[in-house]
């Protein structure tokens, strides 16, 4: 059997338009006996499709999900804190190891520098400034962090 | 869109009650999508919760390209679709323009449709036919008729082309009209043989 495709497309378009008209009429609240019989059937369909589903979410759904999200936040924060602690411990361990290595390699020279009368010598002065500067910067950074946390 | 922006910024700043408000505003659409897709109330509740926890987690990725409603709808659709895939359930059927063509026809005007439809049996049969539609078709139909989303918005939510959505709507409504007429015992007067 052969089908005239143009005729086919026209009929489909005509049906689509009837479906859309019926939906628009139903939304406008057009009385049930108006329109063609085909539109009236589609209007009944539109009415049924506009009904909410019988099953619904529990009334406290939003509050429950928000509580769950807060729990996730807290868990995430705890994970981050654990990671931060481990990182600090690792860095302190590396620093301690570095001190031991430096002491082993340059202990003699450092001890000589720290002997009374040596610290004020011209060769030791720049290192003293660097040390004081580092302590000062570290202190200031700590203050900024505390203020930010407040 | 500015309301969306205010709400999103409030949630991202972790302001008290902001996320709960976001959920309350969009839970209806999320439920409609998920429940229409999976058709199982308990699963749909769990999946809806999963949807909003994803929204909470990935909200910083929302770029305001679509409305927040459709963005959340898209997540809901993806979560439901993945659930169906996990359960190996068929969720769509191939779009074939010839299918359902037989139902096109005119029906005699003398039939009192309203009175006949008052019959509870016909109403239930129509609901059963809606339930029997493939999940994607049923969801597209619900988004269009109940949630009143435009075809463009449904395209954003489902990721389907607008032509495919129109085809789903057309075929589903045609099929349901046929069910309605069959259950009401209406005869097709001028149905033309194809």
Q: Determine the residue among B11, B12, B20, B129 to mutate to test chain A binding: the one whose Cβ has the most chain A Cβ atoms within 10 Å.
A: B20
Rounded Cα distance between B177 and B126, Å, is 9
Q: Which chain B residue shows the shortest CA-CA distance from A10?
A: B104
**Which residues of chain A fall below pLDDT 70?**
1-7, 114, 116-125
Which position has the token pair 């109940």? B146
Domain ranges of chain B: 2-86, 101-184
Q: Mind listing the pLDDT tens digit for each residue in B151-167?
A: 999 999 999 999 999 99
pLDDT tens for chain B, 194 residues: list them: 688 999 999 999 999 999 999 999 999 999 999 999 999 999 999 999 999 999 999 999 999 999 999 999 999 999 999 999 998 766 666 544 444 445 555 555 555 666 666 667 788 889 999 999 999 999 999 999 999 999 999 999 999 999 999 999 999 999 999 998 888 776 554 443 32
Q: What's the confidence (pLDDT) of residue B162?
A: 96
B2-86 maps to which CATH number?
Answer: 1.10.1740.10
Q: Does A83 touch chain B (CB under 8 A)?
A: no
Interface touch A37/B107, C-beta < 8 Å: yes
Q: Does B101-184 match B2-86 at the fold level?
A: no
Pick B145's closest partner by Cβ from A23, A37, A68.
A23
Report the complex ipTM: 0.80
Element housing B187 (H / E)? none
Contacts of A58 in chain B (CB under 8 A): 45
Phi, psi for B126 (deg, rounded to 5): -65, -40
Tell me the two tokens of residue B193: 């043989």
Q: Does B52 touch chain A (CB under 8 A)?
A: yes
Rounded Cα distance between B188 and B44, Å, is 39
Q: Does A37 touch chain B (CB under 8 A)?
A: yes
Q: What's the confidence (pLDDT) of residue A1?
A: 47
Distance from CA of A81 to the nearest CA of B (A): 19
Provide the whole-model pTM: 0.73
| A26 in Cβ contact with B9 (< 8 Å) | no
Which position has the token pair 């602690």? A85
Interface touch B101/A8, C-beta < 8 Å: yes
Q: Which class is B101-184 in CATH?
A: mainly alpha
| B56 in Cβ contact with B30 (< 8 Å) | no
Interface touch A72/B57, C-beta < 8 Å: yes
| B140 in Cβ contact with B163 (< 8 Å) | no
Interface touch A48/B130, C-beta < 8 Å: yes
Rounded Cα distance between B190 and B108, Å, is 8
Instruction: Give helix B135-145 / helix A37-49 axis angle, nearest 10°.
Output: 100
Q: Determine the residue among A23, A57, A58, A76 to mutate to test chain B binding: the one whose Cβ has the most chain B Cβ atoms within 10 Å.
A: A57
Q: What is the DSSP letter of A3?
A: -
């Amino acid at each position: 059997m052969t089908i005239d495709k143009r005729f086919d497309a026209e009929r489909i378009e005509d049906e689509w338009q009837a479906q859309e008209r019926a939906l628009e009429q139903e939304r406008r609240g057009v009385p049930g006996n108006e329109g063609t019989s085909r539109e009236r059937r589609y209007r009944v369909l539109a009415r049924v499709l506009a009904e909410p589903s019988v099953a619904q979410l529990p009334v406290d759904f939003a509050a429950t999900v928000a509580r769950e999200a807060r729990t996730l936040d807290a868990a995430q924060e705890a994970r981050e804190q654990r990671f931060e602690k481990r990182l600090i411990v690792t860095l302190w361990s590396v620093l301690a190891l570095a001190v031991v290595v430096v002491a082993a390699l340059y202990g003699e020279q450092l001890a000589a520098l720290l002997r009374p009368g040596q610290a004020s010598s011209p060769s030791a002065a720049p290192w003293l400034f660097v040390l004081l500067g580092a302590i000062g910067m570290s202190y200031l950074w700590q203050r900024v962090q505390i203020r930010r946390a407040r | 869109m500015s309301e969306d922006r205010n709400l999103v910024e409030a949630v991202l700043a972790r302001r008290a009650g902001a996320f709960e408000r976001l959920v309350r505003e969009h839970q209806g659409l999320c439920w409609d999508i998920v429940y229409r897709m999976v058709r199982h109330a308990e699963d749909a509740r769990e999946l809806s919760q999963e949807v909003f926890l994803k929204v909470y987690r990935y909200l910083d990725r929302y770029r305001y390209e679509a409305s927040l409603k459709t963005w959340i709808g898209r997540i809901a659709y993806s979560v439901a679709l993945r659930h169906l895939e996990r359960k190996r359930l068929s969720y769509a059927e191939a779009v074939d323009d010839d299918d359902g063509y037989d139902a096109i026809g005119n029906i005699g005007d003398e039939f009192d449709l309203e009175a006949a439809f008052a019959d509870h049996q016909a109403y239930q049969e129509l609901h059963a036919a809606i339930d029997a539609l493939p999940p994607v078709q049923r969801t597209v139909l619900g988004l269009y008729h109940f949630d009143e989303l435009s075809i463009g918005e449904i395209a954003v939510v489902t990721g389907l082309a607008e032509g495919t959505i129109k085809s789903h709507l057309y075929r589903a409504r045609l099929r349901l009209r046929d069910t309605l007429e069959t259950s009401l015992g209406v005869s097709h007067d001028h149905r033309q043989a194809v």
